[in-house]
Amino acid sequence: MAGTSVPSAPSPGAAPSFTATTFLLLRHGETPLTAQQRFSGSGAGDPPLSERGRRQAEQAAAALAARGDVAAVVSSPLARCRQTAAAVADRLGVEVGIAADLRETDFGRWDGLTFAEVRARFPAEMAAWLAEPSVAPPGGESFAEAAARVSRARDELLAAFQGRTVLLVSHVTPIKTLVRLALGAPDAALFRMHLDPAALSTVAYYGDGNASLRSFNDTAHLRS
């Protein structure tokens, strides 16, 4: 699979068309930039989890291990996701696969800035970015470009894990994109969703091509 490296797993055989393939979508735990509400993409910076983020990863890991149905763990290549994924994989006794296409959007020159700072320094560029998914931040990547690679990762992973439940550890934009695509929602839906650090969302995919959003932004495991 181009851009994707997943650990080998026993084949369940050909899955019946009514058997769903389930993606558990876990946003990485908090980083120092998350707490400050700064753009944190796949560009210049690659911040690790904060102490709170590591606790969130462990809480998510405990909840996911208790499910008993997670067949594999696949992560974005960025450090904050790999750390989050490792906490879960350690509990499950599995390896972490890497899918490069699950990385966060590259925000270019906006990386590390707050929304207010970007609006003040790049008013015209931000207005265009908010209005049109094909517009990229200066030196960065557009939402349309990110959606194309996320769709590619989805299709590769669906083929690799047919009929099973797999945990994907990723970022705000890829997870929202998978949810938007599952719902058949317009591009503007990205700006209508809120996703907390270490939140879980669930999408089930069926053999007839349909998809069903089962949960979104679930943080119950972080309250224990």
Higher-pLDDT residue of 101 and 42 is: 101
Contact 170, 179 (CB under 8 A): no
Given phi > 0 = left and psi -120 to 50 = alpha, else beta, which region is 223? Answer: alpha
Q: Average of pLDDT values for 43-50? A: 85
Catalytic residues: 28, 104
pLDDT bracket for residue 35 (50, 70, 90)? confident
pLDDT beyond 80 at 8:
no
**Looking at this protein, which amino acid is placed at residue 197?**
P
Q: Average of pLDDT values for 191-206? A: 97
Per-residue model confidence (pLDDT) at position 10? 42
Contact 67, 220 (CB under 8 A): no
Per-residue model confidence (pLDDT) at position 2? 45
pLDDT beyond 50 at 213:
yes
CA dihedral 149, 153, 159, 163 (to 10 degrees): -130
CA distance 48 to 31: 6
Q: Which long-range contacts (CB under 8 A, 24 or more apart) does 48-53 make?
A: 48/79, 48/80, 48/83, 49/79, 49/80, 49/83, 49/84, 53/28, 53/29, 53/80, 53/83, 53/84, 53/197, 53/198
Q: What is the pLDDT of residues 151-184, one digit of tens each?
A: 999 999 999 999 999 999 999 999 999 999 999 9
Q: Average of pLDDT values for 115-124? A: 96
CA distance 161 to 9: 9
pLDDT beyond 50 at 9:
no
**Domain ranges in the chain?**
25-216
Per-residue model confidence (pLDDT) at position 7? 52
pLDDT beyond 50 at 138:
yes
Q: Average of pLDDT values for 63-91? A: 97
Rg (CA), the chain: 17
Angle, vertex CA 170, rays to CA 55 and CA 68, nearest 5: 65
What percentage of the chain exceeds 90 in pLDDT?
85
Q: Which of 151, 122, 147 is nearest to 134 (CA)?
A: 147
Mean pLDDT of the chain: 92
Per-residue model confidence (pLDDT) at position 19? 85
What CATH number is given for 25-216 in this structure?
A: 3.40.50.1240
pLDDT bracket for residue 1 (50, 70, 90)? very low
